[in-house]
Structure 1
Amino acid sequence: MTPDQKDITVRPRLRLSVVRDTCIIATLIVLGLYAGANFLIPLAMALLVNVLIIALSDRVVALTRAPVWLANVAGVTVVLAGLFMIMYVLGSQATQFARSISTYENQFDGAVERVTGLVGNDVTTFIRDNLVSIDMSYVARVLLGSATSLLNQFFLISLYVAFLMAERLAFRKKIQLAAGNPVAAAEFSTMLDAISVSLQRYVGVKTLISLITATISYTVFRSLGLEYAETWAVLTFALNFIPSIGSIIAVFFPAMIALVQFETIIPFLVIVLGCGTIQFLIGNFLDPAMLGRSLNMSTFLVILALTFWTTVWGLIGAFLSVPLTVCILIVFSHIPALRPVAVLMSLDGRLGEDNSQAAAS
């Protein structure tokens, strides 16, 4: 028997039972995520808010040398106040906008006629045939209803955040006691540190970029006199957390409202060209420059994660798709059996430790 034949005989084969068990476990996880959405979504939001608070408090300590407890209080106050204001603006105007959406639907035919001279009859016919069939009131209820539901869960999220912050320092000690093995405890702590650093960078940078985009867009909306300018600015801020399609939606809705509200097509063009250009420049230049390759996620994986989490958790899942997938990628990279999967999920095949070693060399 040749050496090659020996290698073939001793090479482990993928057993049908392993595939079966993997499919069963994956199915149960997906069903659990779907069935437990009411419990898991506030918890996931609280963990993400907690990461943002930690990032902000650490920055306050680094800049001002303030005590840790004071920085934590400042971080909690700023983040929760900002989150409450976002939810309040969306929730308070949700009912009013849903009631007035029928008025916009009645004015839609006149808006389509104004587009005819700009794009031609063929494109206008396509717009009329496809957009008229869309139930705009349903779309408004879905988008703004999610924000209202989140407003109702704000106090639950705040409660989670309070306890997470209270146990921030004691958590590492509990990890060491629970692991028992110092090596396992160190490995688990390393994994949590990698997750925390990646999430802090992502949430911090995306929050800053979304705030800049929303501020510029709000200035444009107010200068044009667009109705519900605050709502569209807040939605612009929130939708920028949704990869790829979020910026498109953030321009589409205020542009459609401007097309219906105003007698001329100029405000519509200003929003499409002005805000669309801002979204393009920020999304393709500022965002990659500030985030860099720290997330190291495949572009296809980003779209796949967006589709999966939106299917499982709806609109909130779209917001959480990238952070949740980053956590999964980092966890897989620290499990030897799942490390090949993490390599396939990454952008360039290098994981966190590989990038660190390459930078050191």
Structure 2
Amino acid sequence: MTPSEPPTRTPLRLSVVRDVTIVLTLVVLGLYAGASFLIPLTIALLINVLIIALSDRVIALTRAPVWLANLAAVTVVLAGLFMITYILGSQATQFARTAGTYESQFDGVINRVTGLVGNDVTSFVRDNLISIDMTSVARILLGSATSMLNQFFLISLYVAFLMAERLAFRKKLRIAAGNPVTGAELSSVLDAITFSLQRYVGVKTFISLVTAGISYSVFRVLGLEYAETWAVLTFALNFIPSIGSIIAVIFPAMIALVQFETIGPFLIIVFGCGTIQFLIGNFLDPALLGRSLNMSTFLVILALTFWTTVWGLIGAFLSVPLTVCILIIFSHIPALRPIAVLMSLDGRLADDVKSHGPDRG
């Protein structure tokens, strides 16, 4: 090639596109077919990350032995998980049975709302909401919680073995690498991924607990039925940015609209809990998470749709943590780093900010 000739680009081979398509198809089919096995394992992995983060915090604060800190962290996290699944599981059947009562009371609610919003809006609400089968909605929302309660022992077993393999895995990773330099690089990447996941899962859990605790106090003061269930759902739904916080307000607000004769409790939940969700989501959440959730808004919606389609309701709860895991892993693999950049919100990754500092422009 002479200097005057422009450089030629290597054409994208059809075989490469074919192979990538086949691999992606097999991955999606594997996720769908192996949901009953992969969902408990994924939950166990995220719980394990949370336990390690809590254990490290206990060691930093109390200088306790590693085994004692691990035991305390496992006890606290698994006890909290059991309490959450027990509350949802124990109230699932009762709520499903009484859902028909809410349907029969809905006409009375429509009549009360007519004087406030007018006949046009009332007709729209009646035509679009009166046909909703509340019993089916209750079973869909709470059925997954009952299944999760049944799988609690399996998840606990996974967590126990993951904790037991924590130190041995590092040694096996160095041996499997076959090269001390490669082993050190793999350990460094694993440390970076683990730190990022610990920060995200730990901070997001704390924020969700604060939001659920404040919301539960409001529900109890109002005397809302199934206050514990709505608080637990608020905790879980806060792992879904934007959409989750809206849903967490809509469900208890609708129950308040049906349960109480006045519209006051409904307005308190909508504006009170809605304001709490807005403040925490727009100020506390970004302040604590920093750039740990630097994901494209479109990617968040796309991930929510994908994981919900593949794994159902549990997939919706896990969509953001799973996508964060993928983004972090891609960002530490040079060949996949361009994909991580495309997945990010502004094209910069966490390690870019550490290296170059924040953008002051």
Q: TM-score, normalised by structure 1?
A: 0.96
C-alpha distance after superposition, 1:168-202 (max 9, x if no partner): 11111110001112232223222222221121111
The secondary structure found in structure 2 opposite 1:5 is: coil
Q: Output aligned runs, 1:1-361, within 5 Å.
A: 3=3, 5-8=5-8, 11-359=9-357
Is residue 195–residue 326 contact of structure 1 (8 Å, CA) maintained in 2? no
For residues 264 and 4 of structure 1, do their structure 2 counterparts lie closer, same or farther at Cα, with a shift above 3 Å needed?
farther
Shift of 1:344: 0.7
Aligned partner of 1:3: which letter?
Answer: P
Alignment identity in percent? Answer: 82
Q: Which range moved further: 307-316 or 68-77?
A: 307-316
Q: In 2, distance between residues paired with 1:317 and 1:191?
A: 26
Q: In 2, distance between residues paired with 1:200 and 1:153?
A: 24
Aligned partner of 1:199: which letter?
Answer: L
Aligned partner of 1:203: which letter?
Answer: V
Is residue 84–residue 154 contact of structure 1 (8 Å, CA) maintained in 2? yes
C-alpha distance after superposition, 1:51-86 (max 9, x if no partner): 000010100000011111000000000000000000
Shift of 1:246: 0.9
Q: Which range moved further: 71-80 or 304-313?
A: 304-313
C-alpha distance after superposition, 1:306-340 (max 9, x if no partner): 11111111111111112211221222223333221
Q: In 1, distance between residues paired with 2:224 and 2:179?
A: 61
Q: Which range moved further: 345-354 or 244-253?
A: 345-354
For residues 15 and 218 of structure 1, do their structure 2 counterparts lie closer, same or farther at Cα, with a shift above 3 Å needed?
same
List alignment gaps of at least 5 residues for structure 1.
none
Aligned partner of 1:248: which letter?
Answer: I
The secondary structure found in structure 2 opposite 1:31 is: helix
Is residue 259–residue 268 contact of structure 1 (8 Å, CA) maintained in 2? yes
The secondary structure found in structure 1 opposite 2:10 is: coil
Is residue 243–residue 306 contact of structure 1 (8 Å, CA) maintained in 2? no
C-alpha distance after superposition, 1:250-301 (max 9, x if no partner): 1111111111111111111111111111111111111111111123222221
Q: In 1, distance between residues paired with 2:216 and 2:335?
A: 49
Aligned partner of 2:129: which letter?
Answer: L
Q: TM-score, normalised by structure 2?
A: 0.96
Is residue 196–residue 328 contact of structure 2 (8 Å, CA) maintained in 1? no
Is residue 198–residue 295 contact of structure 1 (8 Å, CA) maintained in 2? no
Q: In 2, distance between residues paired with 1:30 and 1:56?
A: 33
Is residue 146–residue 315 contact of structure 1 (8 Å, CA) maintained in 2? yes
Aligned-residue Cα RMSD (Å) equals 1.5
Aligned partner of 1:253: which letter?
Answer: F
Q: In 1, distance between residues paired with 2:188 and 2:110?
A: 57
Aligned partner of 2:160: which letter?
Answer: A
The secondary structure found in structure 1 opposite 2:218 is: helix
Q: In 1, distance between residues paired with 2:327 and 2:188?
A: 14
Shift of 1:248: 1.1
Is residue 310–residue 317 contact of structure 1 (8 Å, CA) maintained in 2? yes
The secondary structure found in structure 2 opposite 1:13 is: coil
C-alpha distance after superposition, 1:127-173 (max 9, x if no partner): 11111121111111011111000000000000000001111111111
Is residue 291–residue 350 contact of structure 2 (8 Å, CA) maintained in 1? no
Q: In 2, distance between residues paired with 1:53 and 1:294?
A: 19
The secondary structure found in structure 1 opposite 2:5 is: helix
For residues 171 and 112 of structure 1, do their structure 2 counterparts lie closer, same or farther at Cα, with a shift above 3 Å needed?
same
